[in-house]
Each structure stands twice: as structure tokens, then as C-alpha cells.
Amino acid sequence: MGIPYYVPSGNECLLFETAFRRQLPLLIKGPTGCGKTRFVLHMAAKLGRPLFTVACHDDLTAADLTGRFLIKGGETVWVDGPLTRAIREGGICYLDEVVEARKDVTVVLHPLTDDRRMMPLERTGEILRAPDEFMLVVSYNPGYQNILKSLKPSTRQRFIAISFDFPPPETELEIIATETGLERDKCRVLVNLATQLRILKDVDLEENISTRLLIYCAILMMEGLDPYQAAQAALIEPLSDEADVQQGLLELVRATWG
């Protein structure tokens, strides 16, 4: 497999490589769909390390990361979780939207994010020492947090951090064109539409339009859907359930496409 396509927008690749080389944990902050996960995929492939990705959620526990005893063939056996596997194999463990996980997850991460770089496995009696090749990467969307879901300052200060945002227009155009093969003039219209939506103040959207959704829209257009059908399915419906908001988005799409 080749290295996943990624267009840098700053010094994020250098920062990631430096963090990996010096065994520093990394925190990536940025809005949904701006390229955080693609960046981690790209860097793991570039560094030649196995990647263990965990999509965090409300029910994610420490045991989901470390492992648990399971019954197999009438016997009770220990099965490593993705974090434990990453440590044993010298891989990169990526916890996406880490603030969604339960609080006991943070407790497990703490001894891996200081100079100890270790993790006790109480159920097996092991103390795992992270090899030099192990790296912990976490991400979250600061704009989507609330008072009940945020990283404590004491946890944030255990990581070096990179802030992501949506790519500049020309970079975003290049990404869409390369990922989908859509004609560049049509990609430019999509990017112009996204730019207008991101600065729009009178449309109530929980999340801004992502590069991912623009790629989805371009794929639908490549498959023969007209721009309005593609925008309805890939942009308008995913962004809102409110009829008046959808109508406002549709009017903007019409104005942009002409």
C-alpha cells in the first residue's frame, strides 16, 4: 500500500516526525472533516509504523483500549486491546475525538504521556514499557466541546499540540481534484461554496462544511449527478435537519452554481 494522499498546510509533518523521533505524545485539534485522520494515516505510512485507530465514544472504557479476558474454545484467554497492541508492536495509537471517551481512559493514558512511558496491566500483572517506536496521538474538535466534555488542562499539558483548520482555498481545490478527478473549474465552484458557507452568520449550523463533504459531493458529480442533486445529498442533508436551514443552503447553492 502507498502513502495516503495528503497536502501539508504548514509545518505539521515536521512536528509529527519530531514528536515521533523524540517520543512525545501529540494532540491534534481541529473541526470535523478538516483532515486530522488523513494526516495521521499519511504520517504513519510515511514513518512505516502500524497504526491502531480508535474512534472514541461515550461507552469507550479503559478495558476497550488495554484488553480483557475472553472465553475462547472453553478457555479464558487474555486479548490485547488496540493501545496494548500498539505498545507491544511499536506502533502509533490514534484516539480520535478523545474527549468522547469515559474519564477512566485518561487515567490509563497519563503514565504513557510522561517520561515513564509505561502502562500497568493489572489484570495480567504486566508493566508494559513503550518502545521508542511507540507514539500516542489524540485528537478532538474544540468547537464542539461543552462543559461536560473537555480535556482537563492537566491532560492537555502532557501533549505537544497542532491546531488544524480547513485548508486554504487553492489547497482544498487541489485535494478535491486529486481525490476525485472532477474538473478543476467545478472543484473551484465547490470550494467557493464552502468558503461562503464557512463565513455565513445567519445560517444555524452545528458543524461547518468539511473538506470530506466536498469530496463526497465531487464523487457524486463524477458519477453523473447534477450539481444540485449532489449538493442536496452530500452537503445540505448532512449539515442540517431543519427545513428553513436547508432552504437557505439550497439558495446559496443555486446562487453559486448559477
Nearest to 70 by CA among 60, 81, 61, 59: 81
Name the DSSP class of 232: I
Could you tell me the residue ranges of all domains in the chain?
12-163, 169-257
Q: Is the pTM of this model over 0.85?
A: yes
List strand residue ranges (DSSP E) for the chain, in order: 26-29, 51-55, 67-72, 75-80, 92-96, 118-121, 126-129, 135-140, 160-163
Q: Which of 125-134, 147-156, 185-194, 226-235 has the lowest mean pLDDT?
A: 147-156
The whole-angstrom separation of Cα 39 and Cα 12 is: 9
Q: 1 falls in which pLDDT band (50, 70, 90)? A: low
Q: What is the pLDDT of residues 119-152, one digit of tens each?
A: 999 889 999 999 999 999 999 988 765 544 677 8
Average pLDDT over residues 29-33: 90
Nearest to 60 by CA among 109, 24, 25: 109
Percent of the chain with pLDDT over 90: 74
Average pLDDT over residues 101-124: 91
Instruction: For domain 12-163, give the CATH number.
Output: 3.40.50.300
Average pLDDT over residues 88-102: 94
Average pLDDT over residues 31-45: 94
Q: Which of 10-19, 99-108, 178-187 has the lowest mean pLDDT?
A: 99-108
Contacts of 2 (CB under 8 A, 6+ apart): 45
Q: What is the pLDDT of residues 193-222, one digit of tens each?
A: 999 888 875 566 777 899 999 999 999 999
Average pLDDT over residues 243-258: 88
The whole-angstrom separation of Cα 111 and Cα 192 is: 46
Contacts of 220 (CB under 8 A, 6+ apart): 229, 230, 233, 234
Q: What is the pLDDT of residue 147?
A: 45
